[in-house]
Amino acid sequence: MMLNNCIRIEREHDIAIVVIDNPPINAGSLEVRSGLLAAIEEVKFDVAVNGIVIIGAGNTFVAGSDLREFGQPLADPQLPAVIAAIESCEKPVVAALHGAALGGGYELALGCDARIALAGTVVGLPEVTLGIIPGAGGTQRLARLAGIPKAISLVCSGERVSSEEALSLGLIDKVAATSLRKEAISLAREMRGRKARVRDMPVPVCDESSITKAAESALRAGKCRPAVHAAINCISLAKTLPIDLALVDERSAFQSLRTSREARALRHQFFAQRDAAKHPALETAMPRPIKNVAVIGAGTMGAGIAIAALDAGFDVAVLERDDVALSRGIDRIRNHYRSRVDAGKLHAAEAAARDARLRGSLDWSTVAVADLVIEAVFEDLQIKQDVFRLLDEVARQGAILASNTSYSDLDAIAAVTSRPQDVVGLHFFSPAHVMRLLEIVHGAATSPEVIATSLQFARRLHKQPVVSANAFGFIGNRIYAAYRRQCEFMLEEGASPQQVDAALESFGFAMGPFTVGDLSGLDIAWRMRQSLAATRDPMARYVCIPDLLCEAGRLGRKSGAGYYLYEQEGGARRPDLLVEKIINSARAAKGIVPRQIGDDEITKRALLAMTNEAALLLQEGVAHRASDIDVAMVNGYGFPKWEGGPVFWASERAVDQLEEEFDWLAELSGPGFVRGDAQQLFPSNREV
């Protein structure tokens, strides 16, 4: 019986099977909720029905609520009403889980009398990662199944729990051995005439110190964000309040958070990440199969790329110039897996299997079997061109030739080959096996097939792809360079490195720009500036302070000193009077009288510099869509995800206000500043 487009009822003798069919992920939309409520009403008075099974069609149960509804008033029936109907129904209701039961999907399952899952299913309540909390009883029912400390840990982290672990924690009642549908029906029959509501279970007894410890850990990991606080507060209510009163408080907190700016920003980032993985090439081109990956260079970046590829199941060959460099690189990879095993994060057998797929070589003919070759050598155009000339000779026809370049002209690299259509940029971020972002850079001749293959490769690596056209710095480094340059302007005008870093870390950046510079090495940007010196506009404003630090041998953490002084490798930073002296001398040489710069001005100018450059990237067609810029900055450059990204930050302002602020920034920045068109940051005003 079809109740609507998403819900139907099937019969298996005395058991009613309610099927949720809302592809692709059975999101808990209004139509799903309405259909579920109608289904319960349809069968609860049917004397021929002794039990009910709720199951998802396709590849999953319910992988979450429809987030598109969260930005507007929620229409009735809302999920708590559906769950209340399930709990008040006198017939047992079994949730049959497969694929994923997340968010509202798992809350729906918690409202049932039993939960059975297919092996490989994941369950969880990830709402906090979207700036909200479970709002349909998740905080109260999970506390009754897992205990308050574990519930705090699971909800505040948004952790996805495997069916096997969920069974051990009591989050589900059974793992199906063969057929999920058949075993769910059998379980419903076993429960005939018996309800087993989670709401009626006692909260497991625990001491206050374990709750405090779990809360403190969750707040540290969750950066003390409002949703983390709210989740802890609501879960803790399970110990002191009757469930009906606690559910009222939970729903109130959910509704308040749902409409907050932070939740809007996180939903924006969620959809932006999903959109960034899409590209017209996927609609027109068939990805090439990849099994064998060759990495040229076994330094820190090359080894990280090799680890990422091994973790994804590829056969990996690593090529180096001599035995010493190769041995060092292979040891780096093997030591990584050894440390993972020692830490209990990887089984020894899995580490051995990855090692078996790793091969080191000095012989360029090794590349001949590779489907994808990734160059990860020194960031120098001439060196990269030399590598690609060799690759053109030894790589098989149809192999993809990728450069892990941060700045270099991809078209200039492709031009030295006879197959520019097969050349692409794969810009990994260090450490490559940890950082999520992967910039996919297409040149003028890169084929759609190669772009589509690169996107598929990113998915295999569990990376977040962002596609960029070929331009100096691509998307991420271009934006970051503008941001860093503006911070250097403020340094020259009167701010200190520690003040700038503190202001931007207070805004939410993982690290301030000068701390980042010290960590990555000041000589990297120095070499880049030197390579561009001949083409730099002599009239453009240029801050020489970073150059003076490098000339003084202050290259950052690795030399023990940069913008800060470091007592030992990995040690804490502290301000250095010598840096203050260098900055004061640079100001005096230009006749600059330092002024007081407030933290608000620091933050505003840094963000405006990013958004101005974002507008230029959109004008030039470097970024495919505005939200891709936000994805890049959040996933690769430490921009706080709860702020959505620089474009989201700009789009929350009035366009006229932003235009005035761009004028203000241009005046402060002086000669050489290129002003962007703020209209580009507002989709309704941008040419498509």
CA-to-CA distance for 517 and 523, rounded, in angstroms? 9
pLDDT of 81: 97
- Grade residue 570 by pLDDT with cuts at 50, 70 and 90: low
Residue 36 has pLDDT above 90, yes or no: yes
CA-to-CA distance for 53 and 657, rounded, in angstroms? 55
Residue 86 has pLDDT above 50, yes or no: yes
Report DSSP letters for 437-484, one per residue.
EEEEEE-SS--HHHHHHHHHHHHHTT-EEEEEES-TTTTHHHHHHHHH
| CATH topology identical between 7-195+203-259 and 477-685 | no
Q: Does domain 477-685 have CATH number 1.10.10.10?
A: no
pLDDT of 304: 97
For the chain, give the mean pLDDT: 95
The residues annotated as belonging to the active site are 107, 127
Window from 17-21, 396-400, 556-560 with minimum mean pLDDT:
556-560
DSSP strand E in 349-403: where? 358-361, 372-375, 400-403
User: What would the mean pLDDT of 488-495 be, rounded to a whole number?
Assistant: 97
Task: Identify whether the C-beta of residue 128 lies closer than 8 Å to the C-beta of residue 228.
Answer: yes
What Cα–Cα distance (Å) separates residue 496 from each residue in 577, 594, 608?
A: 11, 10, 20
Residue 92 has pLDDT above 60, yes or no: yes
Q: Percentage of the chain with pLDDT > 70? A: 99
Q: Does domain 290-472 have CATH number 3.40.140.10?
A: no
Residue 161 has pLDDT above 60, yes or no: yes
- Grade residue 688 by pLDDT with cuts at 50, 70 and 90: very low
The residues that bridge with 94 in the sheet, in sequence order, are: 53, 114
Task: Identify whether the C-beta of residue 457 lies closer than 8 Å to the C-beta of residue 558.
Answer: no
pLDDT of 71: 84
Tokens at residue 3, please? 């109740």
pLDDT of 687: 40
pLDDT in tens, 100-156: 999 999 999 999 999 999 999 999 999 999 999 999 999 999 999 999 999 999 999
Tokens at residue 125, please? 């309540």
- Grade residue 684 by pLDDT with cuts at 50, 70 and 90: low
pLDDT of 486: 98
Domain ranges of the chain: 7-195+203-259, 290-472, 477-685
User: What would the mean pLDDT of 66-76 be, rounded to a whole number?
Assistant: 89
Tokens at residue 565, please? 């002084």
126: phi then psi, degrees, rounded to nearest 5: -90, 15
User: What's at 568, amino acid-wise?
Assistant: Q
pLDDT of 663: 97
Torsion of CA 659, 660, 663, 668, to 10 degrees: -130
Task: Identify whether the C-beta of residue 372 lies closer than 8 Å to the C-beta of residue 400.
Answer: yes
With tokens 């503008």, the residue in question is 482
Residue 686 has pLDDT above 60, yes or no: no
3-state secondary structure of 2: strand
CA-to-CA distance for 425 and 469, rounded, in angstroms? 10
pLDDT in tens, 338-388: 999 999 999 999 999 999 999 999 999 999 999 999 999 998 999 999 999
Domain made up of 7-195+203-259: CATH architecture: Alpha-Beta Complex (3.90)
pLDDT of 262: 96
pLDDT in tens, 613-627: 999 999 999 999 999
pLDDT in tens, 176-235: 988 999 999 999 999 999 999 999 999 999 999 999 999 999 999 999 999 999 999 999
pLDDT of 318: 98
DSSP 8-state class, residue 170 = T
Q: What pTM was computed for the model?
A: 0.92
